[in-house]
Chains A and B, each alone.
Chain A
Amino acid sequence: MDVSVKNLKTTGETALAALFAPSGAAASKALRQRAFDLFQTMGLPSRRLESWHYTDLKRMLANVAPRAATSAAANVDAEAGACVIRFVDGHCIGHSALPKGVTLRGLSDVLAQGDADTLGALYASVGSEDPVVALNAALADDGVVIDVAAGVTLDAAIILDFVSSDATARSEFMRCLVRVGAGAKLTLVERHVSAQASAQRHLALAVSVGAHASVSHVFEGVADLDVLLASLLVDVAAQGNFQSFALVSGGRLTRRQIWVRAGQATQVGLRGVSLLRGEQHADTTLVIDHVEPNSESRELFKHILDGSATGVFQGKVVVQPNAQKTDGGMKSHALILSDDATMDNKPELEIYADDVVCGHGATVAQLDDDQLFYLMSRGIPKTQAQAMLIEAFALSAVDFVEDEVQREQVMTFVRDWMMARGA
């Protein structure tokens, strides 16, 4: 008797599959069909898939919300010089004036045109073998493709502002590509700040950093979403520099997954702070693949967990045989504020070259009683003393946010989060 386990789909998987309706040129459709087939084979990831071991999406995404209808176009204002591109309920509704040297196309236009280079960057990127990245490729029919011309330095940031406004539960599927030309310089903000608690957001952001180009990416994940699946797919060409900082304190389930392909003599820095409480679950899983010699990568993540929250960090630094003189350092530190909070911390090195310097460290700790008593013995009440220590804990990661305004915003958020805890 032939029993096929593959056909046993969960309600969530069936609902997601029903949303598949690719449009556009034949080449576009073919790529999305391939991605859909991959998703159909793999299904939603569960603990059995190593890269999803601590986040059982099959179970956590049992109820899939319907897609939102198209949102009406609207005027979008710039913010202190920064260009804002706004998405509402999964649809791009407009953007403020584009800076010189920047062009933008909607995803549906790109799909209709079927240009091979762009499709390749969109769909054949790093991470494309992940079921959630594949699901996004299959279902995302909105998004933008942004090109920053070679040699252009943008003084103000480009902000991708993701908003959900629909009070009924909605699924959003978006895919964006930012290509930064050789020698160009850009700050790219991925903002998830305003949302309905019922929204389920699927986002893939591919970033292609040209030779000698420099990108500073800031992820603000503080919206109260039901689900945020945010994939960051990065390719850094020779001598390129990609730095990313993430603030995660969002909704019920946040999964950030990052793939970086580091070319020759590149610099990569991934850092972040997460602040979780209640039943929140936030997972940061990343892979840095050093494929050429002389590149450097640094990761530093600080997790602060209260209530019954769960934090997950899985980081893998891969050094390919050709990537001699790689310098890699990865750290993940968690601070547990309650008995019921959990942290799963898993750093890994996979090294196939012999002349490299790589290290990693992971810690899980509680607030230090001696430090707490010292502060209190000077008159500082317990809650304030805890806030000072937690701020100090987060600071060493936040210090890497280059933009002063962004850095201060992050610290303010950390302080407010602590104040809310004491209240």
Chain B
Amino acid sequence: MLEIKNLHVRIDDKKILNGLTLTVKPGEVAAIMGPNGSGKSTLSYVIAGRQDYEVTEGEILLDGVNILELDAHERAAKGLFLAFQYPIEIPGVTTMTFLKASLNAQRKQRGEAELSTPDFMKKVRAAADKLGVPQEMLRRPLNVGFSGGEKKRLEVLQMFLLEPRYGILDETDSGLDIDALRIVSEGVNALRSPTRGFLVITHYQRLLDHIVPDVVHVMSRGQIVKTGGKELALELEKNGYRDYVTEAA
């Protein structure tokens, strides 16, 4: 279980999260919707372990263990995965090298043997075929010159390889056309399992047509202000966030 309890976060002197509480159960897809500036991306970064934020109160528990003391790479090895809204370009590091380094670094931390090159290649090929990622793309420098859709597909491909326990999808739909959205969503749906949870962060409802959530949280001013079923997303699409923005003020 991924539990976020009374989380207060600030960057510099600006408070961004104000006592956010949220639980994602294994097998559950939880969506977080909210207006721009409500702190959605901050939440995803803080869960993944980015250092620029200061957690002043609260905790994040992964199966009962507080992970706030862990570095980002340790959290990843424990099964957290953040699909970035804007995946980072790294010139000089080929995508394949990066994938192999990631997978083996996690295995090493978990005390598992590193994957042999043929085994690794087999695994990558299977995931790439499933997501329509051409082999040629994997030989290019990581995310450099990739289109928005290619970058997001590669994020999902990484999730296929790393098989996290909890996937956090930060605005995965941004910058995607309908076809790319469908491919990415199918990839995520294929990863749904009774032991894996997802936190899907989005501004728009349309992603949730493809990745149907079990529960929808509305976030505003750094807090969860309403929780409901998937129909809550439709309501937000119709009425906008206005009610929640004023309510929290």
Check B102 against A388 for contact (C-beta < 8 Å): no
Partner among B91, B97, B102, B141 whose Cβ is within 8 Å of the Cβ of A378: B102
Could you list which residues of chain A lie within 8 angstroms of chain B, going by C-beta atoms?
A: 369-371, 373-382, 384-385, 388-389, 391-393, 395-396
Point out the residues of chain B lying under 8 angstroms from A381, CB to CB.
71, 73, 105
Check A380 against B49 for contact (C-beta < 8 Å): no
Point out the residues of chain A lying under 8 angstroms from B106, CB to CB.
378-379
Question: Known contacts being A378-B76, A378-B158, A379-B76, is A392 close to B105, with CB within 8 Å?
Answer: no
A-B contact pairs, 19 of them (CB 8 A): A371-B88, A374-B84, A375-B101, A376-B49, A376-B76, A377-B81, A377-B82, A378-B73, A378-B162, A379-B77, A379-B109, A380-B101, A380-B102, A381-B73, A381-B105, A384-B101, A391-B92, A392-B91, A396-B92
Point out the residues of chain A lying under 8 angstroms from B103, CB to CB.
379
Q: Which residue of A lies closest to B50 (CB)?
A: A373
B51: min CB distance to chain A, Å: 8
Check A377 against B93 for contact (C-beta < 8 Å): no
9 more contacts with CB within 8 A, not counting A376-B73, A392-B91, are A370-B88, A373-B50, A375-B90, A377-B49, A379-B105, A380-B73, A380-B102, A388-B98, A396-B92
Point out the residues of chain A lying under 8 angstroms from B200, CB to CB.
none
Interface flags for B70-111 (1: CB within 8 Å of A; 0: not) read: 011101110001101001101111000110011101100100
Check A371 against B90 for contact (C-beta < 8 Å): yes
Q: Which residue of B lies closest to A387 (CB)?
A: B101
B128 at the interface (CB under 8 A from A): no
B169 at the interface (CB under 8 A from A): no
Check A384 against B92 for contact (C-beta < 8 Å): no
Point out the residues of chain A lying under 8 angstroms from B72, CB to CB.
373, 376-377
Partner among B82, B84, B90 whose Cβ is within 8 Å of the Cβ of A392: B90
Check B93 against A388 for contact (C-beta < 8 Å): yes
B48 at the interface (CB under 8 A from A): yes
Point out the residues of chain B lying under 8 angstroms from A371, CB to CB.
88, 90
Point out the residues of chain A lying under 8 angstroms from B52, CB to CB.
369
Check A382 against B71 for contact (C-beta < 8 Å): yes
A151: min CB distance to chain B, Å: 39
Interface of A is mostly: helix
Question: Known contacts being A378-B158, A379-B105, A380-B105, is A395 close to B73, with CB within 8 Å?
Answer: no
Point out the residues of chain A lying under 8 angstroms from B101, CB to CB.
375, 378, 380, 384, 388
Point out the residues of chain A lying under 8 angstroms from B50, CB to CB.
373, 377
CA A395 – CA B144 in complex, angstroms?
Answer: 16
Q: Which residue of A lies closest to B103 (CB)?
A: A379
Point out the residues of chain B lying under 8 angstroms from A379, CB to CB.
73, 76-77, 102-103, 105-106, 109, 162
Point out the residues of chain B lying under 8 angstroms from A376, CB to CB.
49, 71-73, 76
Q: Which residue of A lies closest to B110 (CB)?
A: A379
CA A395 – CA B141 in complex, angstroms?
Answer: 12
Partner among A370, A374, A377, A393 whose Cβ is within 8 Å of the Cβ of B92: A393
Point out the residues of chain B lying under 8 angstroms from A378, CB to CB.
73, 76, 98, 101-102, 105-106, 158, 162
Q: Which residue of A lies closest to B168 (CB)?
A: A377
Check B48 against A377 for contact (C-beta < 8 Å): yes
B151: min CB distance to chain A, Å: 11
Within 8 A of A (CB), among B150-165: 158, 162
Question: Known contacts being A381-B73, A382-B71, A384-B105, is A375 close to B98, with CB within 8 Å?
Answer: yes
Check B90 against A374 for contact (C-beta < 8 Å): yes
CA A393 – CA B90 in complex, angstroms?
Answer: 10
Check B73 against A389 for contact (C-beta < 8 Å): no
B122: min CB distance to chain A, Å: 20
Check B102 against A374 for contact (C-beta < 8 Å): no
A314: min CB distance to chain B, Å: 26
